[in-house]
Amino acid sequence: FYYVGPIDGNNMETLVEVLKNIKQQHEDGRINKPVFLHIKTKKGNGYEPAQRASDKLHAVKPKFNLPKTPSDTPQTPPPPPLTKVFADALVKEAEADNKICAITAAMPGGTGIGIFEKRFGPERTFDVGIAEQHAVTFAAGLAAGGLKPFCSIYSTFLQRGYDQLVHDVALQKLPVRFILDRAGLVGEDGPTHGGTFDLSFMGCIPDMLICASADEAELVNMVHTIAKIDDYPTALRYPRGNAYGDLELPSEPRFLEPGKGRISREGRDGTIAILSVGSRLRECLKAAERLEQFGISATVADARWVKPLDEKLVSWLAKDHKAMITVEENSIGGFSAQVQQSLLEAGHLDGVGRTPLVFRSMMFPDRWIDHDKPEKQYEDAELNASHIVAKALSTLARAGVKVAAPQDQDSLLRVAAP
Protein backbone atom coordinates (compact mmCIF):
# COMPACT_ATOMS: atom_id res chain seq x y z
CA PHE A 1 0.00 0.00 0.00
CA TYR A 2 0.93 3.62 -0.49
CA TYR A 3 0.00 5.29 2.81
CA VAL A 4 -1.30 8.85 3.01
CA GLY A 5 -2.32 10.55 6.23
CA PRO A 6 -3.64 11.02 8.71
CA ILE A 7 -5.56 14.06 7.42
CA ASP A 8 -8.40 16.11 8.87
CA GLY A 9 -11.58 14.69 7.35
CA ASN A 10 -13.66 17.60 8.60
CA ASN A 11 -11.64 20.01 6.45
CA MET A 12 -13.33 19.55 3.08
CA GLU A 13 -10.85 21.72 1.16
CA THR A 14 -7.89 19.66 2.36
CA LEU A 15 -9.74 16.37 1.81
CA VAL A 16 -10.74 17.23 -1.76
CA GLU A 17 -7.22 18.46 -2.59
CA VAL A 18 -5.62 15.25 -1.27
CA LEU A 19 -8.05 13.08 -3.25
CA LYS A 20 -7.33 15.06 -6.43
CA ASN A 21 -3.57 14.69 -5.91
CA ILE A 22 -3.83 10.94 -5.35
CA LYS A 23 -5.96 10.54 -8.48
CA GLN A 24 -3.54 12.59 -10.56
CA GLN A 25 -0.50 10.67 -9.31
CA HIS A 26 -2.24 7.40 -10.27
CA GLU A 27 -2.98 8.74 -13.73
CA ASP A 28 0.62 10.00 -14.13
CA GLY A 29 2.05 6.65 -13.09
CA ARG A 30 3.84 8.05 -10.03
CA ILE A 31 1.76 5.76 -7.78
CA ASN A 32 1.30 2.16 -8.90
CA LYS A 33 0.03 0.68 -5.62
CA PRO A 34 -3.33 0.66 -3.85
CA VAL A 35 -3.61 3.81 -1.71
CA PHE A 36 -4.36 3.65 2.01
CA LEU A 37 -5.84 7.06 2.88
CA HIS A 38 -6.09 7.63 6.63
CA ILE A 39 -8.80 10.18 7.48
CA LYS A 40 -9.68 11.38 10.98
CA THR A 41 -13.08 12.93 11.63
CA LYS A 42 -14.94 14.18 14.67
CA LYS A 43 -18.55 13.04 15.07
CA GLY A 44 -21.00 15.94 14.87
CA ASN A 45 -18.20 18.39 14.11
CA GLY A 46 -19.40 21.98 14.55
CA TYR A 47 -22.63 21.09 16.36
CA GLU A 48 -22.10 20.74 20.08
CA PRO A 49 -25.16 18.56 20.91
CA ALA A 50 -24.07 16.01 18.28
CA GLN A 51 -20.49 16.05 19.55
CA ARG A 52 -21.70 15.30 23.08
CA ALA A 53 -24.12 12.50 22.06
CA SER A 54 -22.23 9.33 21.28
CA ASP A 55 -25.30 7.26 20.36
CA LYS A 56 -27.47 9.64 18.31
CA LEU A 57 -27.49 12.70 16.01
CA HIS A 58 -25.50 10.80 13.40
CA ALA A 59 -27.18 12.59 10.49
CA VAL A 60 -28.44 16.07 9.75
CA LYS A 61 -32.17 16.62 9.31
CA PRO A 62 -33.83 19.75 7.90
CA LYS A 63 -34.35 22.49 10.50
CA PHE A 64 -32.59 20.33 13.09
CA ASN A 65 -31.27 23.30 15.07
CA LEU A 66 -34.17 25.75 14.83
CA PRO A 67 -35.78 26.61 18.16
CA LYS A 68 -39.27 25.26 18.66
CA THR A 69 -41.89 27.98 18.90
CA PRO A 70 -44.39 27.56 21.76
CA SER A 71 -47.95 26.76 20.74
CA ASP A 72 -51.10 28.15 22.36
CA THR A 73 -52.85 24.85 21.66
CA PRO A 74 -51.99 22.07 24.15
CA GLN A 75 -50.16 19.33 22.30
CA THR A 76 -51.26 15.73 22.82
CA PRO A 77 -48.15 13.65 23.41
CA PRO A 78 -47.61 11.03 20.71
CA PRO A 79 -47.84 7.32 21.53
CA PRO A 80 -44.57 5.84 22.78
CA PRO A 81 -42.06 4.37 20.32
CA LEU A 82 -42.37 0.61 19.95
CA THR A 83 -38.74 0.40 21.06
CA LYS A 84 -39.77 1.81 24.44
CA VAL A 85 -42.77 -0.52 24.62
CA PHE A 86 -40.39 -3.44 24.08
CA ALA A 87 -37.84 -2.14 26.60
CA ASP A 88 -40.45 -1.56 29.32
CA ALA A 89 -41.85 -5.04 28.74
CA LEU A 90 -38.38 -6.57 28.99
CA VAL A 91 -37.67 -4.68 32.21
CA LYS A 92 -40.89 -6.04 33.69
CA GLU A 93 -39.95 -9.60 32.73
CA ALA A 94 -36.43 -9.15 34.13
CA GLU A 95 -37.76 -7.87 37.44
CA ALA A 96 -39.52 -11.22 37.84
CA ASP A 97 -36.66 -13.36 36.49
CA ASN A 98 -33.06 -12.55 37.46
CA LYS A 99 -31.69 -14.85 34.75
CA ILE A 100 -32.75 -12.42 32.04
CA CYS A 101 -29.95 -10.28 30.62
CA ALA A 102 -29.67 -8.03 27.57
CA ILE A 103 -27.12 -7.62 24.77
CA THR A 104 -26.70 -4.83 22.24
CA ALA A 105 -24.11 -4.18 19.54
CA ALA A 106 -23.39 -0.47 20.08
CA MET A 107 -27.08 0.47 19.82
CA PRO A 108 -28.38 0.86 23.40
CA GLY A 109 -30.57 3.81 22.46
CA GLY A 110 -31.83 2.48 19.15
CA THR A 111 -32.78 -0.94 20.53
CA GLY A 112 -34.09 0.14 23.94
CA ILE A 113 -31.40 -1.77 25.82
CA GLY A 114 -30.28 1.52 27.38
CA ILE A 115 -33.57 1.56 29.32
CA PHE A 116 -32.82 -1.96 30.55
CA GLU A 117 -29.31 -0.88 31.59
CA LYS A 118 -30.64 2.08 33.62
CA ARG A 119 -32.75 -0.36 35.62
CA PHE A 120 -30.29 -3.24 36.04
CA GLY A 121 -26.85 -1.80 35.40
CA PRO A 122 -23.83 -3.39 33.70
CA GLU A 123 -24.13 -6.65 35.62
CA ARG A 124 -27.04 -7.72 33.39
CA THR A 125 -26.45 -5.50 30.34
CA PHE A 126 -23.71 -6.03 27.76
CA ASP A 127 -22.76 -3.67 24.94
CA VAL A 128 -20.26 -5.52 22.74
CA GLY A 129 -19.66 -2.63 20.31
CA ILE A 130 -20.15 -2.84 16.58
CA ALA A 131 -19.60 -6.60 16.57
CA GLU A 132 -22.85 -8.39 15.86
CA GLN A 133 -21.03 -11.68 15.25
CA HIS A 134 -19.62 -11.54 18.77
CA ALA A 135 -23.01 -10.48 20.20
CA VAL A 136 -24.62 -13.64 18.83
CA THR A 137 -21.89 -16.02 19.99
CA PHE A 138 -21.68 -14.26 23.36
CA ALA A 139 -25.45 -14.71 23.74
CA ALA A 140 -25.00 -18.40 22.93
CA GLY A 141 -22.42 -18.72 25.68
CA LEU A 142 -24.68 -17.03 28.22
CA ALA A 143 -27.57 -19.31 27.24
CA ALA A 144 -25.34 -22.38 27.56
CA GLY A 145 -24.51 -21.17 31.06
CA GLY A 146 -28.15 -21.05 32.10
CA LEU A 147 -28.96 -17.38 31.59
CA LYS A 148 -31.76 -15.97 29.41
CA PRO A 149 -30.11 -13.56 26.99
CA PHE A 150 -32.17 -11.12 24.90
CA CYS A 151 -29.93 -10.22 21.96
CA SER A 152 -31.39 -7.04 20.52
CA ILE A 153 -30.11 -6.18 17.03
CA TYR A 154 -31.63 -4.31 14.12
CA SER A 155 -32.97 -6.82 11.60
CA THR A 156 -30.56 -5.65 8.88
CA PHE A 157 -27.52 -5.90 11.15
CA LEU A 158 -28.25 -9.48 12.22
CA GLN A 159 -27.16 -10.40 8.68
CA ARG A 160 -23.60 -9.82 9.92
CA GLY A 161 -24.04 -12.54 12.53
CA TYR A 162 -25.80 -15.13 10.38
CA ASP A 163 -23.04 -17.76 10.52
CA GLN A 164 -22.98 -17.48 14.31
CA LEU A 165 -26.76 -17.67 14.44
CA VAL A 166 -26.73 -20.95 12.53
CA HIS A 167 -23.73 -22.71 14.08
CA ASP A 168 -23.41 -21.24 17.57
CA VAL A 169 -27.09 -20.88 18.46
CA ALA A 170 -29.47 -22.91 16.30
CA LEU A 171 -27.29 -26.00 15.83
CA GLN A 172 -26.81 -26.11 19.60
CA LYS A 173 -30.53 -25.44 20.10
CA LEU A 174 -29.68 -22.74 22.63
CA PRO A 175 -32.52 -20.54 23.93
CA VAL A 176 -31.21 -17.18 22.80
CA ARG A 177 -33.99 -14.59 22.35
CA PHE A 178 -33.34 -12.43 19.29
CA ILE A 179 -35.14 -9.09 19.19
CA LEU A 180 -35.20 -7.77 15.64
CA ASP A 181 -35.95 -4.07 15.81
CA ARG A 182 -36.55 -2.10 12.56
CA ALA A 183 -38.26 -5.02 10.80
CA GLY A 184 -39.79 -3.83 7.54
CA LEU A 185 -39.23 -0.45 5.90
CA VAL A 186 -37.59 2.22 8.02
CA GLY A 187 -38.27 5.60 6.43
CA GLU A 188 -35.37 8.04 6.31
CA ASP A 189 -32.79 5.38 7.22
CA GLY A 190 -33.31 3.89 3.78
CA PRO A 191 -32.49 0.50 2.26
CA THR A 192 -29.27 -0.07 4.27
CA HIS A 193 -31.34 -0.22 7.47
CA GLY A 194 -34.48 -1.88 6.15
CA GLY A 195 -35.38 -5.19 7.78
CA THR A 196 -36.51 -6.89 4.59
CA PHE A 197 -34.85 -10.31 4.63
CA ASP A 198 -35.00 -11.78 8.14
CA LEU A 199 -38.08 -13.98 7.66
CA SER A 200 -36.33 -15.52 4.65
CA PHE A 201 -32.91 -16.09 6.18
CA MET A 202 -34.25 -17.24 9.56
CA GLY A 203 -37.24 -19.22 8.34
CA CYS A 204 -35.01 -21.88 6.78
CA ILE A 205 -33.11 -22.61 10.02
CA PRO A 206 -34.26 -25.74 11.89
CA ASP A 207 -35.56 -25.35 15.45
CA MET A 208 -35.95 -21.57 15.07
CA LEU A 209 -39.18 -20.08 16.48
CA ILE A 210 -40.17 -16.76 14.85
CA CYS A 211 -43.00 -14.41 15.79
CA ALA A 212 -44.00 -10.95 14.56
CA SER A 213 -46.12 -8.47 16.49
CA ALA A 214 -49.10 -6.76 14.88
CA ASP A 215 -49.35 -3.98 17.49
CA GLU A 216 -48.02 -2.83 20.85
CA ALA A 217 -50.19 -5.18 22.92
CA GLU A 218 -49.02 -8.16 20.89
CA LEU A 219 -45.43 -6.95 21.31
CA VAL A 220 -45.74 -7.02 25.11
CA ASN A 221 -47.31 -10.49 25.00
CA MET A 222 -44.59 -11.79 22.69
CA VAL A 223 -41.77 -10.47 24.91
CA HIS A 224 -43.39 -12.37 27.76
CA THR A 225 -43.82 -15.47 25.60
CA ILE A 226 -40.24 -15.81 24.41
CA ALA A 227 -38.98 -15.12 27.94
CA LYS A 228 -40.74 -18.35 28.92
CA ILE A 229 -39.38 -20.50 26.07
CA ASP A 230 -36.25 -22.26 27.31
CA ASP A 231 -35.82 -25.11 24.82
CA TYR A 232 -35.51 -23.33 21.44
CA PRO A 233 -33.90 -20.22 19.99
CA THR A 234 -36.55 -17.59 19.31
CA ALA A 235 -36.86 -14.39 17.31
CA LEU A 236 -39.34 -11.55 17.69
CA ARG A 237 -39.50 -8.93 14.94
CA TYR A 238 -41.24 -5.57 15.20
CA PRO A 239 -41.17 -2.41 13.08
CA ARG A 240 -39.70 1.04 13.52
CA GLY A 241 -42.17 3.69 14.66
CA ASN A 242 -44.61 4.52 17.39
CA ALA A 243 -47.32 2.42 18.97
CA TYR A 244 -50.86 2.95 17.69
CA GLY A 245 -51.83 4.44 21.04
CA ASP A 246 -55.42 3.13 21.00
CA LEU A 247 -54.70 -0.15 22.75
CA GLU A 248 -54.30 -0.77 26.46
CA LEU A 249 -51.04 -2.53 27.17
CA PRO A 250 -51.58 -5.76 29.12
CA SER A 251 -50.76 -5.39 32.80
CA GLU A 252 -50.44 -9.17 32.98
CA PRO A 253 -49.01 -10.34 29.61
CA ARG A 254 -50.35 -13.55 28.10
CA PHE A 255 -48.30 -16.51 26.89
CA LEU A 256 -49.01 -16.91 23.17
CA GLU A 257 -48.80 -20.57 22.25
CA PRO A 258 -46.17 -21.08 19.53
CA GLY A 259 -47.74 -22.02 16.22
CA LYS A 260 -51.14 -20.61 17.15
CA GLY A 261 -52.61 -17.69 15.20
CA ARG A 262 -55.91 -15.85 15.58
CA ILE A 263 -58.91 -14.76 13.55
CA SER A 264 -59.14 -10.97 13.60
CA ARG A 265 -62.23 -10.70 11.39
CA GLU A 266 -64.45 -13.57 10.29
CA GLY A 267 -66.04 -13.26 6.88
CA ARG A 268 -69.59 -14.36 6.11
CA ASP A 269 -69.44 -15.78 2.60
CA GLY A 270 -66.30 -17.95 2.33
CA THR A 271 -64.91 -15.99 -0.61
CA ILE A 272 -61.46 -14.80 0.44
CA ALA A 273 -59.12 -15.03 3.43
CA ILE A 274 -56.34 -12.51 4.07
CA LEU A 275 -53.59 -14.01 6.24
CA SER A 276 -51.23 -11.42 7.70
CA VAL A 277 -48.14 -11.65 9.83
CA GLY A 278 -46.70 -8.59 11.55
CA SER A 279 -47.76 -4.98 11.48
CA ARG A 280 -49.66 -4.92 8.14
CA LEU A 281 -52.63 -6.41 10.01
CA ARG A 282 -54.44 -3.09 10.32
CA GLU A 283 -54.03 -2.43 6.61
CA CYS A 284 -55.55 -5.87 6.00
CA LEU A 285 -58.50 -5.00 8.24
CA LYS A 286 -58.97 -1.68 6.41
CA ALA A 287 -58.91 -3.56 3.12
CA ALA A 288 -61.56 -5.99 4.40
CA GLU A 289 -63.83 -3.10 5.35
CA ARG A 290 -63.47 -1.59 1.88
CA LEU A 291 -64.13 -4.92 0.21
CA GLU A 292 -67.61 -4.79 1.76
CA GLN A 293 -68.33 -2.04 -0.79
CA PHE A 294 -67.86 -4.69 -3.46
CA GLY A 295 -70.13 -7.19 -1.73
CA ILE A 296 -67.18 -9.23 -0.43
CA SER A 297 -67.00 -10.30 3.22
CA ALA A 298 -63.34 -11.15 3.80
CA THR A 299 -61.85 -13.14 6.64
CA VAL A 300 -58.69 -11.63 8.15
CA ALA A 301 -56.30 -13.71 10.25
CA ASP A 302 -53.11 -12.88 12.12
CA ALA A 303 -50.64 -15.77 11.96
CA ARG A 304 -48.53 -14.38 14.83
CA TRP A 305 -45.92 -17.10 14.20
CA VAL A 306 -43.93 -17.69 11.04
CA LYS A 307 -42.37 -20.78 12.64
CA PRO A 308 -43.99 -22.91 13.77
CA LEU A 309 -46.76 -22.05 11.35
CA ASP A 310 -50.35 -22.53 12.49
CA GLU A 311 -51.12 -25.24 9.93
CA LYS A 312 -54.58 -25.87 11.38
CA LEU A 313 -55.46 -22.23 10.80
CA VAL A 314 -54.01 -22.30 7.28
CA SER A 315 -55.93 -25.49 6.47
CA TRP A 316 -59.21 -24.11 7.81
CA LEU A 317 -58.81 -20.90 5.78
CA ALA A 318 -58.04 -22.95 2.67
CA LYS A 319 -61.03 -25.28 3.10
CA ASP A 320 -63.53 -22.55 3.89
CA HIS A 321 -62.52 -19.98 1.26
CA LYS A 322 -62.18 -19.87 -2.49
CA ALA A 323 -59.07 -17.68 -2.38
CA MET A 324 -56.31 -16.71 0.05
CA ILE A 325 -53.77 -13.89 0.18
CA THR A 326 -50.76 -13.65 2.49
CA VAL A 327 -49.39 -10.23 3.47
CA GLU A 328 -45.96 -9.67 5.01
CA GLU A 329 -43.20 -7.08 5.37
CA ASN A 330 -40.44 -9.21 3.94
CA SER A 331 -38.89 -10.24 0.65
CA ILE A 332 -39.61 -13.42 -1.28
CA GLY A 333 -38.95 -16.69 0.55
CA GLY A 334 -40.38 -15.61 3.90
CA PHE A 335 -43.81 -16.14 5.43
CA SER A 336 -45.57 -16.80 2.12
CA ALA A 337 -43.12 -19.62 1.35
CA GLN A 338 -44.00 -21.30 4.66
CA VAL A 339 -47.73 -20.98 3.94
CA GLN A 340 -47.41 -22.20 0.36
CA GLN A 341 -45.44 -25.26 1.45
CA SER A 342 -48.14 -26.08 3.99
CA LEU A 343 -50.87 -25.69 1.35
CA LEU A 344 -48.99 -27.89 -1.11
CA GLU A 345 -48.33 -30.67 1.40
CA ALA A 346 -51.96 -30.66 2.54
CA GLY A 347 -53.20 -30.89 -1.06
CA HIS A 348 -55.16 -27.63 -1.03
CA LEU A 349 -53.68 -26.57 -4.36
CA ASP A 350 -54.10 -29.92 -6.15
CA GLY A 351 -57.72 -29.58 -7.23
CA VAL A 352 -58.40 -33.23 -6.43
CA GLY A 353 -61.98 -33.65 -5.18
CA ARG A 354 -62.60 -29.91 -5.04
CA THR A 355 -61.82 -26.68 -6.85
CA PRO A 356 -58.23 -25.76 -5.97
CA LEU A 357 -57.65 -22.77 -3.72
CA VAL A 358 -56.49 -19.65 -5.58
CA PHE A 359 -53.45 -18.48 -3.63
CA ARG A 360 -51.54 -15.20 -3.95
CA SER A 361 -48.85 -13.46 -1.87
CA MET A 362 -48.04 -9.83 -1.12
CA MET A 363 -44.50 -8.96 -0.04
CA PHE A 364 -41.73 -6.48 -0.79
CA PRO A 365 -40.92 -6.18 -4.49
CA ASP A 366 -37.62 -7.46 -5.85
CA ARG A 367 -35.94 -4.05 -5.73
CA TRP A 368 -34.64 -1.57 -3.17
CA ILE A 369 -37.13 0.87 -1.61
CA ASP A 370 -35.45 4.25 -1.31
CA HIS A 371 -35.52 6.72 1.61
CA ASP A 372 -38.91 8.35 2.23
CA LYS A 373 -41.60 8.65 4.83
CA PRO A 374 -42.73 5.15 5.85
CA GLU A 375 -46.25 5.61 4.53
CA LYS A 376 -44.85 6.57 1.12
CA GLN A 377 -42.43 3.65 1.19
CA TYR A 378 -45.30 1.23 1.78
CA GLU A 379 -47.21 2.91 -1.03
CA ASP A 380 -44.18 2.34 -3.26
CA ALA A 381 -44.00 -1.29 -2.10
CA GLU A 382 -47.75 -1.69 -2.78
CA LEU A 383 -48.55 -3.03 0.68
CA ASN A 384 -51.22 -0.54 1.79
CA ALA A 385 -54.94 -1.21 2.10
CA SER A 386 -55.69 0.01 -1.43
CA HIS A 387 -53.23 -2.49 -2.88
CA ILE A 388 -54.64 -5.32 -0.77
CA VAL A 389 -58.13 -4.48 -2.09
CA ALA A 390 -56.85 -4.55 -5.67
CA LYS A 391 -55.05 -7.86 -5.11
CA ALA A 392 -58.15 -9.37 -3.49
CA LEU A 393 -60.34 -8.40 -6.43
CA SER A 394 -57.94 -9.77 -9.03
CA THR A 395 -57.54 -12.99 -7.02
CA LEU A 396 -61.29 -13.43 -6.72
CA ALA A 397 -61.67 -12.85 -10.46
CA ARG A 398 -59.19 -15.67 -11.01
CA ALA A 399 -61.30 -17.85 -8.70
CA GLY A 400 -64.38 -17.11 -10.79
CA VAL A 401 -66.09 -14.98 -8.14
CA LYS A 402 -68.10 -12.14 -9.64
CA VAL A 403 -67.90 -8.88 -7.73
CA ALA A 404 -69.56 -5.53 -8.28
CA ALA A 405 -66.23 -3.82 -9.00
CA PRO A 406 -65.76 -0.51 -10.86
CA GLN A 407 -64.78 -0.92 -14.50
CA ASP A 408 -61.56 1.11 -14.39
CA GLN A 409 -58.55 1.16 -12.10
CA ASP A 410 -58.93 4.86 -11.23
CA SER A 411 -62.39 4.26 -9.83
CA LEU A 412 -61.08 1.28 -7.90
CA LEU A 413 -58.33 3.32 -6.30
CA ARG A 414 -60.76 6.12 -5.42
CA VAL A 415 -62.97 3.60 -3.62
CA ALA A 416 -59.98 2.06 -1.87
CA ALA A 417 -58.22 5.31 -0.93
CA PRO A 418 -57.98 6.25 2.78
What amino acid is encoded at 194 in this protein?
G
Strands 305-307 and 100-104 come out as unpaired
Q: One of 148, 160, 280, 286 is an active-site residue; which one?
A: 160
Residue 385 φ then ψ, to 5°: -55, -40
Residue 269 φ then ψ, to 5°: -120, 5
Q: One of 93, 132, 216, 328 is an active-site residue; which one?
A: 132
The neighbour count for residue 320, using CB atoms within 10 Å, is: 14
Give 316-384 as a DSSP string: HHHHH-SEEEEE-SS-TTSHHHHHHHHHHHTTTTT-SSSPPPEEEEE---SSPPPSS-HHHHHHHTT-S
CB 157 within 8 A of CB 196: no
Q: Which of 370, 383, 373, 61 is nearest to 190 (CA)?
A: 370
Q: One of 43, 354, 373, 398 is an active-site residue; which one?
A: 43
Strands 35-40 and 2-8 come out as parallel
The beta-strand segments (E) located in 137-277 are: 148-154, 177-181, 209-212, 234-237, 262-265, 272-276
Rounded to whole angstroms, the Cα distance separating 229 from 150 reads 12
Q: How is residue 239 annotated by DSSP? A: -
The answer to whether residue 132 is catalytic is yes
The answer to whether residue 160 is catalytic is yes
CB 253 within 8 A of CB 220: yes
Q: Which of 216, 224, 285, 278 is nearest to 245 (CA)?
A: 216
Consecutive H or E run containing 60 = none
- The residues carrying an active-site annotation are 43, 132, 160
